[in-house]
Amino acid sequence: MSQRWIMLAIVLLVVTPSTLYARWIKDKVYLETKEVGKVEFSHFNHLEAVGKNCPACHNAIYHIVTKNNPDFTMKEMEAGKACGACHNGTKAFSVKESCDSCHGNGNIAYDTDAGKATFSHKVHTAAFGCDSCHPSTFKAQKGANKATMAQMEKGASCGACHDGSTAFSVKDDNDCGKCHEM
Ligand code: HEC
Ligand code: HEC
Ligand code: HEC
Ligand code: HEC
Ligand code: HEC
Ligand code: HEC
């Protein structure tokens, strides 16, 4: 390449980096947690929301080389780190609320021999923190925690609470229909 072409290439890279990069970067990246599964982050949605502006995050908030980023806790985010640099209730919805917006945790449907059974995160997180269930009773991954009713009656899975004292019992014939579409 002649020097002129190299100069032109450098000028282009300096003047239009974001628009260039925006076309070839990966949209979805995933942040793994041990406790509550993986969190999806969309580059494209964020490039819309903060302008096509890589330095808004790289490398002051998140290093572009992912292994250089530590695992952040929600406490650190509430104090303004990582996602919490913007998700503070002013620039964007707060990490103290809307857990579901980042942690895909809607209803979980189970196919069982006794009809479909449903677990609602919404109902349960009104009363319990994530750590009441994850990762001790359930790995935060759909389908990763198979249990039979016999095991639940001995305190596994839903039976950890649905024992007739913390919540209605898995043994009660009148209550099967609260969980199952029978
Ligand atoms: C709103 C914040 C934000 C903006 C703006 C942003 N990124 Fe990222 N980027 C992230 C996060 C978060 C990660 C994941 C970090 C991790 O996994 O530790 C990431 C990861 C990456 C990775 C590594 C992906 C991988 O899987 O190895 C590359 C490359 C990258 N970004 C490039 C860019 C470029 C180029 C731009 C501008 C066009 C940009 N990013 C804009 C937040 C952002
Ligand atoms: C803006 C997105 C966002 C919101 C909103 C959010 N989180 Fe997170 N959360 C994350 C990301 C990203 C991680 C993983 C961070 C890492 O590994 O670096 C995480 C990690 C966690 C963890 C594991 C680490 C720890 O702190 O123990 C728990 C538990 C958690 N979130 C619970 C919650 C709860 C409860 C809420 C609502 C009160 C919430 N999160 C709201 C993005 C979010
Ligand atoms: C540089 C600022 C900034 C950072 C850092 C940032 N966000 Fe956002 N995010 C925004 C803005 C602005 C919006 C749009 C406004 C809103 O929804 O409140 C948004 C919207 C979102 C949305 C809704 C749109 C969508 O993509 O579904 C999610 C989910 C989200 N952010 C997750 C995250 C996670 C997870 C992280 C950390 C890994 C993060 N954000 C870091 C600024 C940021
Ligand atoms: C009362 C118990 C309970 C609480 C509290 C709870 N979860 Fe879950 N969670 C579950 C169950 C049950 C599953 C499904 C596991 C399976 O299919 O084996 C699940 C699955 C998940 C998954 C995986 C979803 C998928 O589609 O793979 C994520 C992510 C998750 N939970 C995040 C959270 C977060 C974040 C919180 C706190 C805001 C939370 N959970 C609170 C019981 C709970
Ligand atoms: C607290 C909610 C809940 C209650 C109450 C409950 N179940 Fe279940 N049941 C489930 C879930 C969730 C599964 C699927 C578990 C899995 O796949 O890990 C299941 C699985 C089953 C299965 C297939 C597995 C096996 O043990 O053979 C049968 C049959 C069943 N339930 C019958 C019943 C009957 C009968 C009752 C009432 C006496 C009952 N269930 C009460 C939640 C419940
Ligand atoms: C950490 C304790 C805990 C675990 C684990 C748990 N539950 Fe619950 N659940 C409760 C409590 C407490 C209530 C509300 C009190 C009551 O109704 O007895 C409840 C209520 C419910 C309800 C009634 C919801 C409504 O709409 O009113 C259903 C259905 C249910 N749980 C299903 C499940 C299933 C399915 C599982 C297992 C996948 C499960 N629960 C695991 C504590 C738990």
**Nearest protein Cα to ligand 2, atom 15:** 72
Residue at 133: amino acid letter: C
Q: Does the CB atom of residue 179 touch ligand 4 within 6 A?
A: no
How far apart are the CA of 127 and the centre of ligand 4, in A?
Answer: 14
pLDDT confidence of residue 9: 60
Element (H, E) at 5: helix 3-15
Q: Which residues pair with 180 in a beta bridge?
A: 117
Q: Does the CB atom of residue 177 touch ligand 4 within 6 A?
A: no
Yes or no: is domain 106-179 CATH 3.40.50.1700?
no
Domain boundaries, the chain: 3-101, 106-179
Equal fold, 3-101 vs 106-179: yes
Element (H, E) at 78: helix 74-78
- pTM equals 0.87
Cα dihedral 19, 23, 24, 29 in deg (nearest 10): 100
pLDDT confidence of residue 16: 53
Q: Does the CB atom of residue 178 touch ligand 6 within 6 A?
A: yes
Whether the Cβ atoms of residue 169 and residue 178 lie closer than 8 Å to each other: no
d(CA 134, CA 145): 11
Whether the Cβ atoms of residue 99 and residue 35 lie closer than 8 Å to each other: no
Nearest Cα neighbor of 107 from 116, 98, 115 is: 116
pLDDT confidence of residue 19: 52
How far apart are the CA of 86 and the centre of ligand 3, in A?
Answer: 7
pLDDT confidence of residue 95: 96
Give mean pLDDT in consecutive 10-residue pieces for the chain, a chain of 182 residues.
Answer: 65 51 80 92 95 94 96 97 97 93 91 96 93 94 95 98 98 97 88
pLDDT confidence of residue 106: 86
Close Cβ partners of 101 (under 8 Å, ≥ 6 residues apart): 93
pLDDT confidence of residue 12: 53
Topology of domain 3-101, per CATH? Cytochrome C3 (3.90.10)
Q: Does the CB atom of residue 73 touch ligand 2 within 6 A?
A: yes
